[in-house]
Structure 1
Amino acid sequence: MGQDEPPQKRDKSVPAASQDVVFIHSPVEQGEGFRVIRSREDRIEIGELRPTEHGRPLTGDLVKLTQRPEHGRLFDVEVLVPAPHAAEARRAGPAQVATDTYRSNWEAIFGRREENKLAN
Structure 2
Amino acid sequence: MLTWSTMLYGAALSALLAALLAAATGPRRPAVIATVAVAALAGPLAWNAILHAAHGAQFFTDAPIALLPASWQDTGSGVFAIAATALALGVGPLAAGSGRRIATLATLAGLAAFAIDVYLY
What is the TM-score normalised by the length of structure 1? 0.21
Report which of the two structures shows the higher radius of gyration computed on alpha carbons.
Answer: 1
Structure of higher RCO (CA pairs closer than 8 Å, 6+ residues apart): 2
The structure that is helix-richer by fraction is 2
The structure that is strand-richer by fraction is 1
What is the TM-score normalised by the length of structure 2? 0.21
